Structure formats: C-alpha cells, structure tokens
Amino acid sequence: MLRLALILAALFPNAARAEVRAVLIGVGDYQTLDADLKGPPQDVALMAEVLVSRGVAPSLIQVLGATDAAPTHAAITKALEEAAKAAQPGDTVMFYFSGHGAQAPDISGDESGGMDEILLPADAFVQDGQVRNALTDDNLHLWARGLLRRGVAVVGLIDACHSNTGFRAVGGAGVARSLTAAQLGLPDSDAAELQIGTSLPADLPGDHVFLFSSQSDQRSFEYPLGTGGVWHGEFTLRLAEALRSLPGASWRQVLTATADAMQQGPARQVPDGEGTLLDHVVFAQAPGSGRFAVAAGQVQAGLLNGLVTGSDIALYAQAAGGDPLARTTLASVDLRKSLLQDNPPAAAGWAEVVTRPPPAALRLAPAVQADTQDYADWLPALGAGDPGPADLVPILTGGQVALAGPDGVLDPAGPGSTPRIRPEPGEAAADATGRVLDQAAHSLRLRAVLAGAAGRSLTGRATLSATYEVRPDCGTAPPRPADPASGLHPCDTLFVTVTNHGTTPVDLSILYFNADFTVSPIWPQRGRSNRLAGGDFARAGMRIAKNSPPALEELFIVAVPVDPDLDRVDLTALADPATDRGLASPQVAWFLDRLQPDVTRGFSTKPPLVLLRQPVRITLPP
C-alpha cells in the first residue's frame, strides 16, 4: 500500500490535495478458493492513477491488492474503518472493489430472497454451508450509513457481479467475476436475483452514489488487453477512460460514457448506477479537456486510455482550446504510450483523437460444440475460425448454430436470446451461414464506424437529447415515460423524442441494431425531412415484434450538422449492406468507405457527427 502511494506521489507531484479518501480493493489471488483472477491488481493500480489525475492526494488513497498488501477480510475492514474515522463532514469516501462477487444464504434474515450479496476477500472460504470472511451487503450498508449520518459523502464502485443464473461461457475470451453456489459448494437456491445495490435502500441519509459493473442478471468480465496480455476488468477500464476524459461531468454522464464504451467492447454487460449524487459533478474536476500530453514524439497514453492504432490525431499547443497545429495518425499503441506516424511540430504538446480507424474484417472463433448432435452440414460452412480474439463465438447447440459474443456466453438474457443461424426455405447451411455472417459483419462494423466518427461527442457533451416513452402490450393507452435499458416487452411500442438544443441545424437519423444483426431504419420515414433547426424536436416510434426473444439491442440516434453546400444527410441508407456508394451523398459515401475492412487507415476529413446510444433490453412478461 505504502509503496504504491509513494510511486503515485512521484508520478503526480503537483496533484491537488482534496478531501476525498479512497479505499481501493483488488482481489486476484484467493488463498483457499480455486478462483484466481488476473485483472484486479491492474485495476486498482489504474484506478489509483485516475484518482490522482483528478486531484485526489496519493496519501489519502489506500490500495489493497496491487503490490504487497493482501486484501484479506481483516485488512479491508481495517482500511474502511480508518477511512471512516479520518473523514470529516463534507469529505467524500470512495469504496472500490475489483474481484469476485457471489450470493450466499442470508444469516441476518433481512433479505426477502433469502440470499445475501457478498464480495469475496482473498481469505474467503466455505465452512458448514456458509461463506466465511465475506463482505456482505449488510456490512457495507452499516459502514455507509455511519458515514452518511455524519455528513460524509459515499461513493461505491463495484467491478464484480452476483448473478447466479447459470450463464455459461462455452467459448471465447474473458473470465467472469462471479462464483455460483455450486462453485462455492453451497446448496442451490431458488432465490430471486439481487444486485448489491438493492440492499442499499433509497432512504439512505446524505449524499451517495453507487456504480455497478453490470445488471443484476448479468455477469461482469475481465479480459486481456493488447499484445502483452495485461488483464483488466471491462467496467474498470472503460470507467477509468471516462473519468480521465470528462472534466466537469456528472456521475450519470460518466456512467453513460462508460456504458457507451462497453457496448463497443467484448462483454455483454450493461453497467448500472443509483444514488442522490448521480446528477452531481464528480469530485475533484480533472484538469484540461481530455487531451493527452505529447513528449518525444509519443502520445503519453495508450490502450488503457482507449487509443487504437490507426486513429486520426489532431495536435495542439495547449491542453484546451486553440487551433490544431497538425494532424497525423497513431502508428502503434502500447498500454500507456502511442507512437505518432509523423514527427510532430515542435510546439505540439497535446493530442486529441479525431476519429478511430475502420474496423477489421469479422473475426469468427473456432466453433464450440455444446451437445452430441450431428453438425456435419454446419462445420464446413463455419471453417476453422480464428484462434485469437474474435467478434463472435459459434456455439453448436440444439441442432443449430448460435452466434455468441466474444465472452462466449450462451443465451445470457434467457433461452433463445443468442441469435441463431436459421436457413430460409430452400437455403443450404453454407448459404445461410454466409448470409448471417455478412449481416453480422455489416452490423458490427457500422456500430464501430458511427461510434468512432462521433469521437468524444458520444460521452454526453452533445447538444442533442432524447427522452423515451412506452405504450405497453400493443395497447392504445397514452404512452408513459420509460427507460428502455430497464426492459421492454414484446409488442410494446417505444417512442423517442429527440431535441436539438444547439444553434446549428442538424440532419437526424435513427437506426435500430437488432440482436439478430439486422439494422432497422427508424427515422426519417420515406419522404420526410429530417432536418432539425436549433430548438426543434422530432418524435419517432417503433414496436417490438410479438415474437421477439429476450435480447439486448441498441438504438443509435445520429445527427450531422448541416452543410449549406450539401443536400440533406439521411444515414438510414447505411442500414442496407447493399447501399450503392456511387448514388450516396458525400457524407454517406464517407461512411460506406469506412465500412470497407481493407480501407486505407490514413487521415481523412470526417463529417462532424453527434451520437446518442440507447441500450434496449427485451424481456418476457412475468
């Protein structure tokens, strides 16, 4: 703990002291449980760096698990007690945990489902049907309540999960940060799934915010990053990037940016948050504007900051404002540094990402057979697959091919929620496979290109906003406000109202990315103008199909500022993979060029773009 604090003090000697105290816990090595993780030691070190960059004094950060301080139950309890004792009214205490979560039989009797949500320290073990040395939601609740009653704000960041739904990763990369009852040797339970946040009641006194790495029915994953194979939790990595690049943002904006970045990553998980501070500015505002320092021809940031080889970069003389001195490309990206393709001007001290490179061709993992049925017709069509990191994992199950995400989890949202390759009448297995994989390649590339073109606009700085309403069950009742990420049912009608708060007119397009890899154009309708002047709004609706299986889908709201020298821009044409570039507008043609996986990755002028991304969870009625 002390060693890391000294290192941080040396790296950031001028960090502003702030009355923010942090207890960072990363549990990678378990002393008894056969459940080691690779990411937590890197997670806590990364989070400590981020906090210092935001003005938190290294001496006020206690780190367990990065170096020589074992995150045992006693050590964690001591660190929490010390932080609580030292905190004064008006201070903030942050609790961060990276490691395994689980559910265990409730001892106190306060859980209606009969289960406690627990976090597992390094010395957790199972004895007599109970998990010993666990941190329960009851423990954390009492600790937080004691601080809040004294006027100390509490921030909780949890990169672990408690899902016990039996999701199984049958291929792909990544390790889940949860242990089932069976893995812990505990008796099975039919208890309802609960997230640790559900035991922190809404009437907690004082100011608090809690961010969780996934929904209560999802698992949280860690993955290797870059060629060096350094592991990080997906949530921690994206959260750190958002905290670095969003000075002055609220916790809700940070959560939104984190969720946006995770939608582009390998995990099928959606982070969540709650608390009275969600709409308050994050403590200790970061300096600068999200630009990265440049020294000795290198950008002093890398994979850990979300940079990608081939990204287009603008170079500046100062950390905020001003005109770009030059533009170039990232020739190579390591974990913490990036090499520029061209020598920067002598006055260039800061770099900012303009666009990200076009995505690579679809990468398919080797097929994984989950049962003993005959798949002789399917295997030749799927080929040998790519043994490295992949976009999709083919799982042979129930006589069909399911295309799981990179985490290899089959049907995470319920039976049938992982898309299957289903031949159309008269279609052979090889033809069906080619058709669906072409759809998947187009859908995944289009999502990545739109997100890359938007740059940092997708983090919540945009002048565009969207509100949502739902009319349930194919009914005619007036629609009511709704959060699409919380769950819609088949036959619900979703309405979205998009408002342009800026002064520049924009051309608005709305695309819906279905779980089966098709892309549906939602707005504008044929023949309708899609131009919004400053202060104008547009309203569009869509109905969830009656036979929709459980799924996690996504709505993209895209606005292109008007160019008076060009016609209206309608990006719904991008939904069709067969769109003819020669007949497209210049802006649409730019996107079509970027959708080609073998396109040259040099700098090209992008059409400015504002993007809002909205996850849509389809659930079945109870």
- pLDDT score of 349: 93
Same domain for 59 and 206? yes
What residues make up the domain containing 453?
Answer: 440-618
Q: Is residue 387 included in any domain, yes or no?
A: no
Final residue of a structural domain among 338, 355, 372? 355
Final residue of a structural domain among 246, 274, 302? 274
Q: Is residue 287 included in any domain, yes or no?
A: no
- Say if strands 338-340 and 298-299 run parallel, antiparallel, or are unpaired: antiparallel
Q: Is residue 393 included in any domain, yes or no?
A: no
| Angle at 208 (CA atoms; ends 202, 214), nearest 5 degrees | 75
3-state secondary structure of 527: coil
3-state secondary structure of 364: strand
Using one digit for the tens of pLDDT, what is the confidence trace for 556-609? 999 988 888 778 889 998 998 887 666 667 777 777 777 776 544 444 445 568
User: What whole-number distance in Å separates Cα of residue 587 and Cα of residue 94?
Assistant: 45
Final residue of a structural domain among 323, 355, 387? 355
Same domain for 55 and 139? yes
- DSSP letters, 562-619, are --TTS----GGGGGSTT--GGGS-HHHHHHHHHTSTT---S--PPPP-EEEEEEEEE-
Among 265, 314, 266, 243, smallest CA distance to 94 is for: 243
Using one digit for the tens of pLDDT, what is the confidence trace for 44-86? 999 998 998 888 889 999 999 987 678 999 999 999 999 999 9
Using one digit for the tens of pLDDT, what is the confidence trace for 166-181? 444 555 666 667 665 6
Same domain for 234 and 308? no
Same domain for 296 and 195? no
Same domain for 256 and 326? no
> Domain tally for the chain?
3
Whether residue 38 contacts residue 99, with contact meaning beta carbons closer than 8 Å, is answered with: no
Enumerate long-range contacts of 140-148, CB under 8 Å, 24 or more apart.
Answer: 140/95, 140/196, 140/200, 141/199, 141/200, 143/80, 143/84, 143/95, 144/95, 144/200, 144/204, 144/208, 145/204, 145/205, 146/84, 147/84, 147/87, 147/93, 147/206, 148/204, 148/205, 148/206, 148/207, 148/208
Same domain for 202 and 270? yes
Same domain for 340 and 206? no
Using one digit for the tens of pLDDT, what is the confidence trace for 125-169? 888 777 888 888 888 889 999 999 999 999 999 998 754 444 445
What percentage of the chain carries pLDDT values higher than 90?
41
Same domain for 199 and 234? yes
Q: Is residue 155 included in any domain, yes or no?
A: yes
Whether residue 261 contacts residue 238, with contact meaning beta carbons closer than 8 Å, is answered with: yes
Same domain for 259 and 302? no
State which amino acid sits at residue 310.
Answer: G
Same domain for 263 and 338? no
- Kindly report the CATH number assigned to the domain that includes residue 348: 2.40.30
The one-character DSSP state at 27 is -
Same domain for 263 and 347? no
- Kindly report the CATH number assigned to the domain that includes residue 32: 3.40.50.1460
Tokens found for residue 238 = 């994206």
